[in-house]
Structure formats: C-alpha cells, structure tokens
C-alpha cells in the first residue's frame, strides 16, 4: 500500500487535494454546488458555514463516502472520484467523523495499535492475529510515540469506555495520526467539547500537524479556535463556497459578511461565532 502512495508523491504535484467543479445532489436537493478547492501539501484549511451548508457532504465526497454527480476530485494529481473510502485511505486520506469512532471495550493503547495494524494488514485482518502482533517492537515504539504526542500515555491502559469525551477525541486524532496520513480530514473534531477541553487539544493537534507537516482540512464551527490552527479558510453557504483564502481577508469578504455573518459591519474574527 505504502509503495503506491510514495510513487504518487514523487511523480505528481505538491497539490494534495484538488476539488474541481464538484456537485452532489440528493434527489432534487443540491447539497454541494459546483465547489472548487485546492489545498497544497503541508497546508491546512478550515471549512466554516452554517448547519446544512454542505460541509460534511464535501468531506464525504473527498473521502469517498459519496460519489460526485459532477466534477473531479484529485489527490496528489490522481483522479480518485470513483475510489472507495478504503482505497483513498491507501493513498493517505484519513478522516475523523462528527461523532467519535473508537472501540469502547478496548484500552487506549489497543485502539491506537489496532488502527496501525489495520492500516498495515488491511481492514479484514483477524483480531486474534492483532493481539498476537501487539508485542511487535517497531509498532510498539510507534504507538508509544503517538500516545505521548497526544498526551495519552498516562491513560494507555484505561478502557476507552471510561474516558471523557475530550480524551476520546484526542484518541481519535491519535488513531488517524499513527498511520502517517498524507491528508487529515477532520469533521468538527471539537464538537460537544467545552472551551477548556478544546484549548487543551488545540496545541496538541497543532504540534502534531506541524511536526510532520501534515496536510489538513478541518471543519469547525468555533471560528476563534479554527483561526488559531489554519492559515486559510473556505466559507460554505447553501452548498457553495462563497469565499476562500487567508482567514482575515476571507472573513471580511463582502459575500461572507452578507451571507454568513448577516451583518453589514465587519465582525471581529477572533470572536466565537
């Protein structure tokens, strides 16, 4: 799997994600309307927009859970619109969901190790052989390293069902980070958390992303939190991207002021929406 990914990286552009004129309809309803978006390797972008704007649908299109009705999606220059989510994972496109996806009856350590193991062996790997592989030295070091990076080392033996939501979110991020993703796609990774918990996770995520120069697309409602970890944002409204670019400039865009803020005056982008 890794080989395919590496050959893509060496052969193709440094543009990690290219979404070009993508449209997705559900019956008569157009959830994503002619969206184009480009994200260079190692860059990060935040997607904002009101509920129902089409953010999760866009994430589902990029990660392969939906197929576009029109348009093209390329990862490192390769057209992947018809690829399954698992095939996109093999090209390094890893995501989190709005609701946490972790195994409550396993320990923190086992969840991260399982994530790494499934990437190495394919998702149909037997759980039995997974438990046998837990002693593998290189994997052990890798898991320990990532647990440390995400401040989860002290909880490694804890059963995940006993964790706070904040720690579960950290764990979910660690589970995608451990497989060395090329592109991390995070759909509202802080949903349901209070400001204090978000402020604890933000620097951890920022440090991890910067450490390995990850490409990141992150959907997040809380603007003040988002602008502290991304350089660029795109604003979605009724399925379309109405503005994108550097945070401050985009938030001051007349169309964003009108449609997103519903204001004539200019907001303070550091304020939480």
53: contact with ligand ADP by CB under 6 A: yes
34 near 71, Cβ under 8 Å? yes
Q: Select from 10, 28, 51, 124 the one that contacts ligand ADP (CB under 6 A).
A: 51
96: contact with Mg ion by CB under 5 A: no
Q: Which does 51 bind (CB under 5 to 8 A by kind): ligand ADP, Mg ion, none?
A: ligand ADP
CA distance 54 to 56: 6
Place of tokens 């089409």: 54
31: contact with ligand ADP by CB under 6 A: yes
Q: Select from 21, 52, 129, 254 the one that contacts ligand ADP (CB under 6 A).
A: 52
19: contact with ligand ADP by CB under 6 A: no
Min CB(48)–ligand ADP separation in Å: 9
Q: Which does 46 bind (CB under 5 to 8 A by kind): Mg ion, ligand ADP, none?
A: none
Comparison of 221 and 253: residue with beta carbon closer to Mg ion: 221
Q: Binding string to Mg ion for residues 44 to 83, with x set by CB under 5 A, is what?
A: -----------xx---------------------------
Q: Which span sits near ligand ADP by CB under 6 A: 44-52, 71-79, 226-234, 256-264?
A: 44-52
3-state secondary structure of 75: strand
CB atoms within 10 A of CB 270: 11
CA distance 221 to 151: 24
CB-nearest residue to Mg ion: 56
What tokens appear for 46 in the block? 């935040």
Count of residues that interact with ligand ADP, criterion CB under 6 A: 10
Torsion sign, CA atoms 16, 72, 221, 152: negative
28: contact with ligand ADP by CB under 6 A: no
3-state secondary structure of 235: strand
75: nearest Cα among 33, 34, 38, 44:
38
CA distance 261 to 242: 12
| Backbone dihedral angles phi then psi of residue 77, each to the nearest 5 degrees | 85, -5
Q: Which residues bind ligand ADP (CB under 6 A)?
A: 26, 31, 49, 51-57
Q: Which residues bind Mg ion (CB under 5 A)?
A: 55-56
């Amino acid at each position: 799997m890794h080989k395919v990914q590496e050959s893509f990286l060496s052969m193709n552009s440094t543009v990690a994600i290219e979404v070009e004129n993508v449209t997705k309809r559900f019956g008569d309803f157009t959830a994503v309307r002619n969206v184009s978006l480009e994200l260079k390797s190692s860059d990060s972008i935040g997607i904002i927009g009101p509920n129902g704007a089409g953010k999760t649908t866009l994430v589902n299109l990029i990660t392969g859970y939906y197929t576009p009705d029109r348009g093209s999606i390329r990862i490192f220059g390769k057209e992947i619109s018809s690829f399954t989510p698992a095939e996109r994972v093999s090209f390094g496109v890893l995501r989190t969901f709005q609701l946490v996806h972790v195994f409550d009856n396993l320990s923190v350590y086992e969840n991260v190790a399982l994530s790494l193991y499934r990437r190495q062996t394919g998702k149909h790997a037997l759980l039995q052989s997974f438990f046998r592989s837990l002693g593998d030295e290189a994997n052990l070091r890798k898991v320990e390293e990532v647990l440390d990076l995400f401040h989860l080392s002290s909880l490694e033996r804890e059963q995940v069902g006993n964790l706070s939501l904040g720690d579960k979110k950290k764990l979910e991020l660690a589970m995608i980070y451990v497989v060395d993703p090329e592109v991390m796609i995070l759909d509202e990774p802080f949903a349901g958390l209070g400001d204090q918990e978000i402020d604890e996770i933000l620097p951890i995520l920022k440090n991890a992303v910067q450490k390995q120069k990850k490409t990141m697309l992150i959907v997040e409602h809380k603007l003040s939190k988002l602008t502290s970890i991304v350089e660029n944002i795109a604003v979605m409204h009724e399925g379309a991207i109405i503005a994108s670019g550097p945070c401050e400039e985009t938030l001051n865009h007349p169309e964003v002021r009108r449609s997103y803020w519903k204001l004539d005056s200019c907001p303070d982008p550091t304020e939480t929406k």
